[in-house]
Amino acid sequence: MKPETAWKESPPQKNAGGLRRLEALLDFIPFSFNDFDALPSFPKWCWQPRESAAPLFGFGALFGGSLADAQALLSASASGIHAFGGTRFDPASPTSPAWADFPKEFFWIPRWELSPANNGIRAALHLRDGESHDPFVASLFELLNPQDLRQEPSSKQNSPRFAAKNRDDRPAKTAWTALVEAALQKIRNSHLEKAVLARESLLVADTPLPPFAFLQQLAASSSDAFLFGIQPTATSPCFLGATPELLYRRKGKKIESEAIAGTRPRGIDGSEDLLLGNQLLHGKKDRSEHSVVAEFLRTTLSRICSVTPDSPPAPSLLKLARLQHLRTGFEGTLQNGVSDTQILAAIHPTPATCGSPAAPALSFLRENEPFDRGWYSGPIGVVTSDSAEFAVAIRSCLLRGPHLHLYAGAGIVEGSSPAEEWEELENKISAPLLVVKE
């Protein structure tokens, strides 16, 4: 440890049971996604807001449990501490072996938070009552091994890649066509208005890929996205992704959310991009799909906000690196006493990931989807003592060694075409497929 390193301590907000927080700028240690893969301490997680270029890394666990229990501890602890976690898309559905290390709901408060800053690391250490920071700081320096990091070996500068040896889609294209047609039949013959069908694409690579290095490469081709990754244990798979979709963001009682539904690819030039965007803005099928999500959020937020939330009169275009979507934003003020647990219970799942109405849509998915979604399309994010930010865990994958599970979904409404929806799924996994050369 460098003798000049100064650690600034923030005490708990309440004396009994709260966590302390110590912070320091370690400007002599560079740090990257690749370095995070090398750390042997678990759980490990990463979170980067859509509007930020600075990732937040957390590792080691002082707490793991429900969102409500995590926030109870945070409310007694020093300000600035984050809990990170998420939930299954459908907590009532059976858990497959692939998702065995991801509970129905789980949030971690880390021993350490790290974020790159000024060619070094801004480090935060969290301590319980009576714990000395000295052994933890010594362990951090041993883990980071600054002498090796300063040398920046060439292996760390190269972006690791691998080649896929095979691919197995669940459902396969023929089965997908039958599934979409079954959903359309259900929509015509019942009060089901929309069903969001998903696909799992399994790829096996010629070599294992470090998950957080994979996330860094995914970020390079996924602008305007929330980046996330969580690996619970050394033997667990890592769930990671670059999602464009905010579920909600809360600061105090102020809340914002957004409806994102309706998709087109980006054009190869400005003229084609404008044409595709206009098709999206004025297409009957896309506007119908989007309006279901927007109306759900407007109605749901009105129930938990003190007044009807503000929203624009018409959707706008959210233009991403490879795709563009219809977007409607909402802002409101929560009623007194509404918790994040209550917000999630009210707002998830939205028609953008499940369908509408939710009950028949979920029933259809449970009966017909041929795989376990796990945490895919569930809420994932960070909370502090006075704020929360959750994204929808789409554009995501589960990675363990050479085994990669890619997930994508498409909203099925009257007028949907199985072939066009299959092409939309391909567009939605195009970013990770750039990293994984088929």
Residue 200: active-site member:
no
State the sign of the Cα–Cα–Cα–Cα dihedral 373, 237, 37, 109.
positive
Active site residue 194: yes
- For 61-97, b/e burial (b = at least 16 CB within 10 A) is bbbbbbbeebbebbeebbeebbbbbbbbbbeebeeee
**Quick one: tokens of 336?**
């007194």
DSSP string, 232-298: -STTS-EEEEEE--EEEEEETTEEEEEEEEEEEEPPSSHHHHHHHHHHHHH-HHHHHHHHHHHHHHH
Question: Is residue 218 classed as helix, strand or coil in its secondary structure?
Answer: helix
CA 80 to chain centre: 21
Query: How many C-alpha atoms does 432 have within 13 Å on its Cβ side?
Result: 30
Name the active-site residue from 200, 245, 289, 421.
245
- Judge contact between 68 and 351, C-beta under 8 A: no
What is the distance between the alpha carbons of residues 279 and 264, in angstroms, rounded to a whole number? Answer: 8
Catalytic residue among 44, 194, 369, 424: 194
Q: Which two tokens stand for residue 277?
A: 């965007």
Query: Beta-strand (E) ranges in 66-132?
Result: 83-87, 105-117, 120-127
Q: What is the spatial distance between Cα 102 and Cα 93, in angstroms, rounded to a whole number?
A: 13
Residues carrying an active site annotation: 194, 245
